[in-house]
Amino acid sequence: MQADIVIVGAGPVGLCLARALSGAGLKIAMVEQQSLADIGEPQFDGREIALTQKSVRMMRRFGLWDLIDPHARAPLRSARVFNGPSPGALEIGHDLSGHTELGWLVSNHLIRKAAYEALLQSTAEHGDVTLLAARKVSAVKADDALASVTLESGETLSAKLIVAADSRFSSTRKMMGIAANLHDFGRAMLVCRMTHEAPHEHAAWEWFGYGQTLALLPMNAERSTNAHQSSVVLTLPVGQVNEVAALEPEAFARHIEDRFMHRLGAMTLASTRHVYPLVAVYPERFVGKRFAAVGDAAVGMHPVTAHGFNFGLLGVENLGKRIIDAHKSGFDIGAPSVLQGYETQHRRATKPLYLATRFITDVYTNNTAPAKLARDFMLRAASKLMPFKKAIAASLTG
């Protein structure tokens, strides 16, 4: 099969890139290892994605936003950062951003579903995207004239450009010989939905405790009971997370109440629980010969600053525009100059926050006495620095 672009991976970013390119006169092939049924009806995976205002604008432009049930889009009005047992917090309100909310929270599986539906709508009109589901890429090749991927089924797809959107552990990126810096935090995140007695006021919590990190992401009220509902995120060393995840629902709820020092009152488990090992990835390059990486394949963020998918959309915007501009002016879409522009801009957009996130997680999971003091001092100083607070608000709104 011959296409202009082959996108490997139909996760949320791969689907958004295909949607962004659809209608521009390009022939696009997508390869995804999951079945068509799983792509069309993705299951709840515990992740609630904090979306910046910029990401929401892009999702509107691609026709995704209106495909998501309004009740499933929860506004994020403020963010609170706690240190240790202290009840005082660094508070970033939406007023610092000039918006009525800092951003929005939407479940990852609903973003995936909406991205697929928006792509189907666009493809019905333009007939330009072919999705090859239940197929896995086994080899990638590129030369000056053309690139190609070989599937495990033996099929070969050639194109002017191959784009990897196949997760932070991208095998396509690896097969292109691109090295990546991996940082294994030795911890894992347990995520699930819980209902609770106390209201959350649509505030997200990031609570750097001693020996644990907790986060609370405010959802809209549980539909049938109208109970306050949040996504709870517990970060612990891997072995401990697995023990907590294995508790019976009742024991689990009591355990989480204790960890939250009963600040949310009685809590009840309201969903399945999911565990994610924490590994951050930053490749040495995002591009190669007739090759580009987007989404987590380009920048695999630690979720604490909630920017993985937001960066994925930034990459889609940046790379997508360059591909369309090149194509419209009759230029080679896989030319080094096109890809280098993406590389430079995306690195500039992502590297500072990637490094800052590493710094935050290193400092705020260090439980030595001097580190605890430094943590407290930094938070107090930050809460008095209006420009710093505004900078955080700007980063959250995008």
Ligand X SMILES: Cc1cc2nc3c(=O)[nH]c(=O)nc-3n(C[C@H](O)[C@H](O)[C@H](O)COP(=O)(O)OP(=O)(O)OC[C@H]3O[C@@H](n4cnc5c(N)ncnc54)[C@H](O)[C@@H]3O)c2cc1C
397, 390 contact by CB (below 8 A): no
The distance of closest approach from Cβ of residue 300 to ligand X in the complex, given in angstroms and rounded to an integer, is 8
The distance of closest approach from Cβ of residue 30 to ligand X in the complex, given in angstroms and rounded to an integer, is 9
Cβ distance to ligand X smaller for residue 358 or 372:
358
Give residues in contact with ligand X (CB under 6 A). Answer: 8-14, 31-34, 47, 49-50, 108, 136-137, 165-167, 171, 189, 191, 276, 295-296, 303, 306-310, 312
Structure-block tokens of residue 128: 């330009």
Cβ distance to ligand X smaller for residue 9 or 265:
9
The distance of closest approach from Cβ of residue 162 to ligand X in the complex, given in angstroms and rounded to an integer, is 12
The distance of closest approach from Cβ of residue 49 to ligand X in the complex, given in angstroms and rounded to an integer, is 4
How far are the Cα atoms of 52, 131, 345 from residue 341, in angstroms, in the given order? 24, 28, 6
Cβ distance to ligand X smaller for residue 220 or 374:
220
Cβ distance to ligand X smaller for residue 35 or 87:
35
229, 222 contact by CB (below 8 A): yes
The distance of closest approach from Cβ of residue 252 to ligand X in the complex, given in angstroms and rounded to an integer, is 17
The distance of closest approach from Cβ of residue 138 to ligand X in the complex, given in angstroms and rounded to an integer, is 8
Cβ distance to ligand X smaller for residue 8 or 203:
8
Cβ distance to ligand X smaller for residue 135 or 196:
135
